């Protein structure tokens, strides 16, 4: 460690260290909420590490849960990139303990979850190129100037009011203290070595797979469900690229109709279909 790194570490306050851990654990709660809603594990209630999950936001299915998690992960990414290596290492070790504690491994986790965990770990390692690219190319489904966007933004950030108040309370209680004057207990009981070994095996598997995962829905990309398949409200295409129903190859029953002017309308009332709100 050079002199500059030593000075940077000494300048880290107790508040910096404590809040970074708090933001990490908030992110893990959103990750657990996603795993729960996706239904990856029938015994998730026994595996989960946050039995009283405090995610307050209403989640509309696995796709919405995954997008919420990705947005919260963005906040964690922007937080840890300004922190010294020793704090980043503490966060990584907590992540390894969580993996070990949940019993998730390369043999019992769906491919999409492995992509998510691998991508999360890459961010903790300071390698966020994939995440940044997905964010830059993400699909925007609501106009930033629309009332719907404002409502969605208000709903999403309302879920963070309590954590923000907690941060204010932490700031007051730790005022003037240095990072080494506080003790941060591990929240997870797993072992670092086991969790790290599992992540390494997952990483090898993910690197051998075709690149078919994105943290955010991309432009011209169909929505993907928790199993890595097109979402149930996305029509399938046959070999001739004709849109068909998944079950029988017929045109999908829920495909929006077009009026005489070629405008896409809702079958029931002739009005434009409502887009699924995007999280921001």
Residues 99-116: pLDDT tens digits? 999 999 999 999 999 999
Alpha-carbon gap, residue 211 to 115, rounded angstroms: 10
Specify the pLDDT at position 202.
96
Residue 106 token pair: 């390369």
Please say if the pLDDT value at position 15 is more than 50: yes
Q: What is the pTM (predicted TM-score) of this model?
A: 0.68
Residue percentage of the chain with pLDDT more than 70: 61
Alpha-carbon gap, residue 222 to 129, rounded angstroms: 22
Going by C-alpha positions, the residue among 248, 176, 206, 242 that lies closest to residue 13 is 176
Residue 46 token pair: 């026994």
pLDDT digits (tens, 9 = 90+) for 211-255: 778 787 767 655 555 555 555 444 444 444 333 444 444 444 444
Going by C-alpha positions, the residue among 131, 190, 156 that lies closest to residue 59 is 156
Question: Can you tell me which residue has the tokens 């399938």?
Answer: 236
Instruction: Tell the burial category of 234 from Cβ atoms under 10 Å away from its Cβ (0-12, 13-18, 19+).
Output: middle
Residue 110 token pair: 């769906």
Specify the pLDDT at position 77.
92
In whole angstroms, how far apart are CA 217 and each of 62, 73, 126, 220, 256?
13, 15, 23, 9, 21
Specify the pLDDT at position 266.
45
Specify the pLDDT at position 58.
83
Q: What are residue 244's phi and psi, to 5 degrees?
A: -135, 170
pLDDT digits (tens, 9 = 90+) for 131-140: 888 888 777 6
Q: What are residue 218's phi and psi, to 5 degrees?
A: -95, 160
Which residues 6+ apart lie within 8 Å of 83 measured at CB?
12, 16, 20
Alpha-carbon gap, residue 220 to 140, rounded angstroms: 11
């Amino acid at each position: 460690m050079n002199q500059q790194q030593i000075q940077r570490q000494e300048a880290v306050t107790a508040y910096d260290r404590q809040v970074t851990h708090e933001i990490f654990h908030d992110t893990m709660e959103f990750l657990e909420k996603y795993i729960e809603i996706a239904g990856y594990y029938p015994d998730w209630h026994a595996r989960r590490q946050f039995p009283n999950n405090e995610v307050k936001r209403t989640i509309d299915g696995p796709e919405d849960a995954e997008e919420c998690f990705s947005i919260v992960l963005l906040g964690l990414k922007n937080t840890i990139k300004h922190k010294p290596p020793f704090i980043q290492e503490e966060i990584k070790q907590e992540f390894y303990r969580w993996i070990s504690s949940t019993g998730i491994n390369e043999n019992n986790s769906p491919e999409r979850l492995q992509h998510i965990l691998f991508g999360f770990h890459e961010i903790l390692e300071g390698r966020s190129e994939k995440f940044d690219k997905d964010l830059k190319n993400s699909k925007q489904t609501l106009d930033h100037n629309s009332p719907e966007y404002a409502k969605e933004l208000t709903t999403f950030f309302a879920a963070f009011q309590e954590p923000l108040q907690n941060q204010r309370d932490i700031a007051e209680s730790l005022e003037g203290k240095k990072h080494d004057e506080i003790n941060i207990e591990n929240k997870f009981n797993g072992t670092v070595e086991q969790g790290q070994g599992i992540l390494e095996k997952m990483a090898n598997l993910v690197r051998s797979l075709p690149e078919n995962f994105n943290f955010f829905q991309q432009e011209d990309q169909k929505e993907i469900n928790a199993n890595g398949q097109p979402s149930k409200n996305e029509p399938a295409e046959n070999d001739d690229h004709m849109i068909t129903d998944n079950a029988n190859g017929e045109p999908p029953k829920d495909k929006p109709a077009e009026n005489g002017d070629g405008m896409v309308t809702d079958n029931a009332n002739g009005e434009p279909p409502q887009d699924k709100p995007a999280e921001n």
